Structure 1
Amino acid sequence: MNRLSRSSNIKWQLLSYFLAALAIVTGGMGAGWLLWRDALSDNNIWVEYVLLLVASGIAICYMIVTRYQRKIDTLHLAILQLASGNLGERIRPLGMDPFDRIYNDFNVMASSLEKRVKLLQKVGEENVMLQAESNEAAVIEERKRLARDLHDTVSQQMFAIHMSASSLAKMVHRGQTESVAPILEQLVTMSNLTQKQLRGMIAQLRPIELEGKRLSEALDKWFPDYCRQNGLQGSIDIRLDGPLSDGIEHQLFLIVQEGMANVVKHASARHVELTLHDNGNQYVLQMNDDGQGFSSDSIRMNSYGLSTMRERAQKLGGEMDIWSKSGAGTRIKISIPKFMDEDESGGGQSETEQEQSE
């Protein structure tokens, strides 16, 4: 039999502890009655003696319950870590303890879940790269869309500017100077609108390709340029311990682009903060803005971009959380599990194991 099979059942061990505490109390009362009965009766301290024994029994029971509560808290903490995406969480067995059986089952479950999510992430990365390699049709479709946008927006605006400028020249030639000011104001308004539309299209035409660059290098160049073109104040903080896989970098870059496009279109923000950190078990991407935010009831109205970001995160086994309130900005958090190579993962120790060792 292994150590777990030799472990006593929890209920019998717990019952034996309480029986031992009861035996101590009753034994103390019996010993007091047989050995010190006269002394306790003469000094009228028999009640105090009994209360002392009961208090001792309660203290022993409290110590036992505290010990079991600590083991349950260890399991609860490990479950919370696993639920938050820390798939590398494991509980170190105590050795010849009834809870070892539960801890071992948790470790088996966590290992199985980690392998499945790791496989899901690998498949997601392969699909991402296959889609990136076969995007010729998407490029053609994007060109058609851009042509339609140019015709429906910039082309019409330029035609209106041309007509206003032509009429302005005729008025100046005829000396109708009193009508010049309104037309000039209209020209300035239309030219500003056209310039804004062109900047948006240029930003869409100039996505930085990740080929030959790491994600941090691409974001260091793309993010400030995008903020400057759209009148935003941006701050960026990237802390990665090592290189990411091509699939993860590609998806994270697209998530950032989609998130920033949502900020420009819907948030009316002045400042945007972008962070990407490696916390050892997860890659955590956060985008915070000080815009108008939204209530939970209106999420569906602007859900297309958010759902696309969530789907990209889920393809890598990750998840997206959103915190927003009307008038208080929006915070988006993307968590992607980080998996180490087999030879690197053997020497690590989870947070729960470290807490137990302390």
Structure 2
Amino acid sequence: MRQGGARAVGESRFEEGGVRAVVTGATGFVGRHLTEALLERGWHITAAVRRPQRLGALADALTVVRWDATEPVPEALRQAIHKANCLFHVAGLIKTPDAAQFYRVNTAATVKLYDACRGSKCRFLFVSSQAAAGPAFRPVPLSESAIPRPRCHYGLSKLKAESYIRSSAHTPFVIARPSLVFGPGDAETAQLVRVVRLGFIPAVPAHLRLLSVIYVYDLVNALVLLATHPDAVGKVFFVAHPQPVSMVRFLKEMAQVLGRSARRINLPCSFMELAAYGGDVLARLTKTTPSINSHKLPHILARWWLCSPKRLMRLGWRPRFSLKNALAHWLAPSG
């Protein structure tokens, strides 16, 4: 079901002859939603993915190029970029037990891809993260002009990629920094759904007091706007719902939508530290990456993950979903 909403301001400038776009990470959470939305708008999409088989039936509507972010940019992808109106670089690594891998995938691969755009007319839209800016140090949302202070390797790797793009600026670019993204297909927030279904609302009382969030369909609309609006070029944009929420309220709203009676369980910081240590051990033993590990711990324990979408809203973007409506849209059909 299309949730794209009204046509983005500036999108009409691409209509003649059809819009061509390249999307990296089209098999991922955000990338798949974005790809589906662009196809519904009639765009011609080249998907650059590491495992094409994960596209499933979606592959029939796409031109598919295999690309592993740790490898050089293949010629087929370079050609697609130089024929495209815009490139959405969504692919990235959000968790790994190997800190160096963040920089290979999130930094070095972005540099290679941006340089592959040199000499083209393709707008490069880099999907970075709020983590690149880091948390607020008081309960006031950060603006894009705030000095970045990332708290984890993930955030720093994204910031390094941003810095290269902004300093090089050889091709028109836009940088989007989504806040916590939730919605259908997200494995990370799906873990919270499972906990709430069991009747628990985990809370670290002294931390995560307030955070900015964004429903994936609202994020997709923002990305389309940033890819097409003439005033977006050369700028950084936070993408978040303008109303922050506490994690406890987020989970309580989730429980209400699911029709579950859930009770709050206060978790001391020492428990989170122990869980992070356990996550590291589990990662070494199983070659997997638990959601809680020592790399993520400083990120998890920050008090205010707040950012302001005012710059984005000045371009005409508005979220279509409130928190309650977003959770109902996502969870109620399967609740």
Q: Report the TM-score when normalising by structure 2.
A: 0.21
Q: Which of these two proteins has the greater Rg computed from alpha carbons?
A: 1
Q: Which has the higher strand share?
A: 2
Q: Which has the higher helix share?
A: 1
